[in-house]
Amino acid sequence: MFALPDAGAQFINIQINVEPQVDTTVEQPLDFGQAISGVGFQNIPLGSPNMGIFQIRALRTQRLLLAIEIDDELVHEDPLIDARIPLNLSATYTDSGVNDYLQSVPFGSDLQTVIVNPPDQNPNAVWSSIFIYIFGDVNIAAVPVGVYRGEILLTIVYE
């Protein structure tokens, strides 16, 4: 009979923490271009080459909470000039990885819950995108000439 000597076992614990990742880019800035003082309403409709576009790249099936804050008016860049241009913007989005405003749906008023879906042409893709389209109008009254600015803030919460 064969006897084994006393043996000890060693082991190593292995741990990995995988964090989700979300990348956001401005694919296209919203651009009303040059305007003439007192011209009235100028509109950038959904689908216009001047509409703004955000792209959010995330893992497919990832759940995101989105919020958009849009200034109500554009303010003259010279702080000594107290002139404002009313701004009325809207947002729509797609969640299927395809940059196609025709497939977009209106963005909710507060927090919008979105689950990232893979594109139909590549259902096994690990990454996918959400596209947010910003469009609308300004009412340009008789205001001083110059550059007027505003902000659109996109907030993304994810796990």
pLDDT for 46-55, tens place per residue? 999 999 999 9
Look over the chain and give the mean of its residue pLDDT values, rounded to a whole number: 88
Backbone angles phi, psi at 26, to 5 degrees: -90, 105
Contact assessment for residue 118 and residue 97, using Cβ atoms and an 8 Å cutoff: yes
Q: What distance lies between CA 12 and its chain's CA centroid? A: 43
* pLDDT confidence of residue 57: 93
Res 72: pLDDT: 92
Least confident interval from 17-26, 56-65, 132-141: 17-26
Q: Helix, strand, or coil here: 55?
A: strand
Total-model pTM:
0.83
> β-pairing, 40-44 with 105-106?
unpaired
Which class for 58: exposed (0-12), middle (13-18), buried (19 or more C-beta within 10 A)? buried
Which pair of tokens denotes residue 4?
């084994």
Question: Which residues is 25 bridged to in the sheet?
Answer: 55
Query: For the chain, what is the radius of gyration of the CA atoms?
Result: 25
pLDDT at 5 over 70: no
Q: Encode pLDDT of 98-129 as tens digits.
A: 999 999 999 877 788 898 888 777 878 888 99
Are 30 and 44 spatial neighbours (Cβ–Cβ below 8 Å)? yes
Looking at residue 62, its pLDDT comes to: 87
